[in-house]
Amino acid sequence: MGVTIKDVAKKAGVSIATVSMVVNDKAGHITPKTKRKVLDAIKELDYRPNFTARSLVRKASNTIGLLVPDITNPYFAELAKSLETALNQAGYITFLCNTFEESEREKRYVNELISRAVDGLIICGLTSLETTIFASLKERRIPYLILDNRFSAENFSIHADDFAGGELAAKHLIENGHTKTLFVGSQNHYINIEQRYQGFKSIMDKHKLETNYLDTELTRVGGQKIAETVFKMDITAVFCSNDLIAIGLYDAAAKQKLTIPGDLSIIGYDNITFTSIVKPHLTTIQQPIHMLAEKACYHLLQMIHTPDYFFYKEILPVSLVSRDSVAAQ
């Protein structure tokens, strides 16, 4: 049996993804020392990557399918950009599919990507894919990752610690004297949104404080739609399950000449670019977008190049970004 990319990675003491980047001349962000170690290992082992043969034997296309629920959402736009950049550096082309959170569209895209012989799939965010789709991917030995959402225990996933994110928001509000609060969630009851609520509620429960709950769309319009109801509630602070909802509340508050945080304190989630642009700057929970992308690229390439590579799930930390939208009571 000939020398494999796995052999080179072991010899150089680096990951398979790093060797792939060097071989595909995409090693721009790799240190000269690491690149030299890889090149020395290639020379010593006489490794000769045969891309044509690899394509025939493994049916490799050097393409990755990427499914996102809404590319107009700044969070998913930034995540898709980070993923595309990381995959490009490893020598892969990305096929981007915008699913609009529609189950039939998701299934159609997955089947189309399978027919195009992609080397792997990354499914981002709020997926409603049926378990039969995942079973089909496993049967065909197509590596895949679920990113930023836990779909089921049987699937490989990388996600941020949403429960901890909810805890951080609750602690920040309590530290600022807020006892009458509202959590704004999703009308579709997604797992990661539910985790944010459960984390938030757990801290409120520890302090024997009740919190209100409202559902809406995970969009700016969603925030605008519930604004009238929110402003009539006996509360001093709102924790929104994403930044777009929070910005929608900003819009409505301005129209009604209400002040933030004077009349109402608001915390968002994701830390999209607009949070540091709106006035006042929005306090929010930072999602580790670039780390999510890097981890996804690393694990997916490991699965592509190493059939017996085992990966279950990885949970990444979040952090509070304290700005100007929360007032002390």
Superfamily grouping for domain 162-287:
Response regulator (3.40.50.2300)
Share of the chain above pLDDT 70, in %: 91
Among 43-52, 117-126, 233-242, the minimum mean pLDDT is found in 43-52
Span 233-256, mean pLDDT? 98
Give the pLDDT band (50/70/90) at residue 49. Answer: low
- Report CA-CA distances (Å) from 315 to 80, 158, 228, 260, 296: 19, 6, 36, 33, 12
Give the pLDDT of residue 151. Answer: 58
Strand partners, 284: 268, 321
Q: List, in order, residues 6 or more apart from 216 with CB less than 8 Å away.
A: 184, 185, 186, 187, 222, 223, 225, 226, 245
Query: Please, are residues 28 and 317 in contact by the beta-carbon 8 Å criterion?
Result: no
Neighbours of 36 (CB within 10 A): 13
Architecture of the domain defined by 5-49: Orthogonal Bundle (1.10)
Give the pLDDT of residue 43. Answer: 83
Neighbours of 161 (CB within 10 A): 19
Query: What's this model's pTM, rounded to 2 decimal places?
Result: 0.80
Q: How far apart are CA 270 and CA 273, in angstroms?
A: 9
Return the domain boundaries, the chain: 5-49, 59-160+289-316, 162-287
Give the pLDDT band (50/70/90) at residue 61. Answer: confident
Among 155-159, 195-199, 254-258, the minimum mean pLDDT is found in 155-159
- Structure token digits, residue 223: 């925030």
Span 133-139, mean pLDDT? 80
- Structure token digits, residue 219: 């969009």
Span 137-150, mean pLDDT? 82
Q: Do domains 59-160+289-316 and 162-287 have the same CATH topology?
A: yes
- pLDDT of 204 > 90? The answer is yes
Architecture of the domain defined by 59-160+289-316: 3-Layer(aba) Sandwich (3.40)
Give the closest residue to 39 by CA, choosing from 54, 58, 18.
18
